[in-house]
């Protein structure tokens, strides 16, 4: 992890491995201090707090969760008494998609040789993902702490005269997607609306909505965007990711029309220049999302997580690349 100054008052803590769960956090060191997203486990959250304390010595009074995924909310409990702000959908969604007990069970299962072997026979991808997570994370002790201040479309903060705009843009990657714009400093904290130099993973929402949101990022004309995952970038980061999503959707359509399954399509579609990004086999999720749209499935159709990790595993094996999430 490292901290980088983004503008006069904005900072980011970036997880450099850039694999699944390696989410970024932000800090605006004005008006009591605002932290944006709280990391995936308590050790990472403590390290983030320690890094931010170099530029904001007291505990920040506010937290913003950009959406409901575990890797953005599991450090919330360390901000005791803070106001936690998020889109209205986030508390309910967190209970479903960020249940710490499920992850704890998986990690303990994978850490144990006999349960791992049994699980591996059925879900090799789930085991591979669990083993990767074990290298960096420990989900023990995590308790869900839900947002306390909820908003619908837009929420504004005035921090010592600096305006901060929370703009609801979901569902494009997840139901609660919110971006945080600091116009005076030309900074946007994009949450997982933007993945940089790693393959985006989208759960709930549509390509169209995601494109609209990326267009909005560009229109806001920021000098720096803090992605949910990956290094800092400018608007080129947004346009590159849009091009990737367009490419995947177009290629998926050809495979869909040829009646391939989404898994076979993901095995067949070339990574192209995006093979350089982290975890390119996560392509499967974007193909599957495209297929859901072609079939007119509801945008919130649930994911079978073990099957999804297994499919990514199979794509990596078929393409003879490292299995990475």
Binding site for Zn ion (CB under 5 A): 23, 69, 71, 192, 228
Q: Tell me the closest approach of the beta carbon of residue 65 to Zn ion, in angstroms.
A: 11
With respect to Zn ion, which residue has the nearer C-beta, 23 or 98? 23
Cα(287)–Cα(248) distance, rounded to whole angstroms? 7
Q: Are 17 and 2 in contact (CB under 8 A)?
A: no
231 contact partners, CB below 8 Å, separation of at least 6? 14, 18, 196, 197
Q: Tell me the closest approach of the beta carbon of residue 156 to Zn ion, in angstroms.
A: 25
Give the ranges where 179-261 is alpha helix by DSSP (H). 207-219, 235-257
With respect to Zn ion, which residue has the nearer C-beta, 68 or 71? 71
Q: Say whether the peptide bond before residue 9 is cis (omega within 30 degrees of 0).
A: no
With respect to Zn ion, which residue has the nearer C-beta, 142 or 263? 142
Q: Tell me the closest approach of the beta carbon of residue 98 to Zn ion, in angstroms.
A: 11
List the structure tokens of 182. 């600091």
Q: Tell me the closest approach of the beta carbon of residue 71 to Zn ion, in angstroms.
A: 4
With respect to Zn ion, which residue has the nearer C-beta, 192 or 240? 192
Q: Tell me the closest approach of the beta carbon of residue 73 to Zn ion, in angstroms.
A: 10
48 contact partners, CB below 8 Å, separation of at least 6? 1, 13, 25, 35, 38, 39, 75
CA dihedral defined by 79, 226, 167, 71, rounded to 10 degrees? -50
With respect to Zn ion, which residue has the nearer C-beta, 139 or 256? 139
Cα(205)–Cα(218) distance, rounded to whole angstroms? 20
């Amino acid at each position: 992890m490292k901290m980088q100054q983004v503008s006069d008052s904005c900072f980011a803590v970036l997880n450099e491995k850039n694999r699944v769960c390696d989410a970024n956090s932000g800090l605006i060191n004005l008006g009591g201090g605002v932290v944006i997203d709280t990391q995936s486990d308590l050790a990472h959250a403590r390290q983030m707090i320690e890094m931010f304390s170099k530029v904001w010595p007291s505990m920040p009074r506010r937290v913003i969760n950009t959406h409901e995924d575990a890797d953005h909310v599991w450090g919330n409990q360390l901000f005791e008494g803070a106001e936690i702000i998020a889109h209205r959908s986030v508390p309910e969604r967190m209970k479903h998609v960020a249940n710490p007990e499920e992850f704890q069970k998986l990690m303990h299962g994978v850490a144990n040789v006999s349960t791992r072997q049994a699980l591996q026979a059925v879900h090799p991808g789930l085991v591979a993902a669990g083993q990767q997570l074990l290298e960096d994370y420990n989900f023990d002790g995590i308790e869900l702490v839900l947002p306390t201040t909820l908003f619908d479309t837009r929420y504004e903060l005035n921090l010592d005269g600096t305006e901060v705009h929370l703009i609801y843009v979901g569902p494009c990657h997840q139901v609660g997607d919110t971006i945080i714009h600091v116009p005076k400093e030309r900074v946007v904290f994009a949450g997982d609306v933007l993945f940089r130099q790693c393959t985006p993973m989208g759960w709930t929402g549509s390509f169209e909505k995601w494109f609209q949101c990326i267009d909005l990022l560009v229109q806001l004309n920021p000098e720096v965007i803090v992605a949910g995952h990956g290094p800092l970038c400018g608007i080129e980061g947004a346009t590159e990711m849009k091009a990737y999503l367009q490419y995947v959707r177009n290629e998926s359509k050809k495979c869909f029309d040829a009646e391939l399954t989404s898994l076979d399509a993901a095995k067949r579609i070339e990574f192209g220049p995006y093979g350089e990004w982290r975890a390119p086999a996560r392509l499967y999720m974007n193909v599957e999302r495209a297929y859901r749209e072609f079939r007119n499935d509801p945008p919130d159709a649930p994911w079978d997580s073990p099957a999804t990790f297994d499919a990514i595993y199979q794509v990596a094996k078929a393409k003879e690349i490292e299995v990475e999430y």
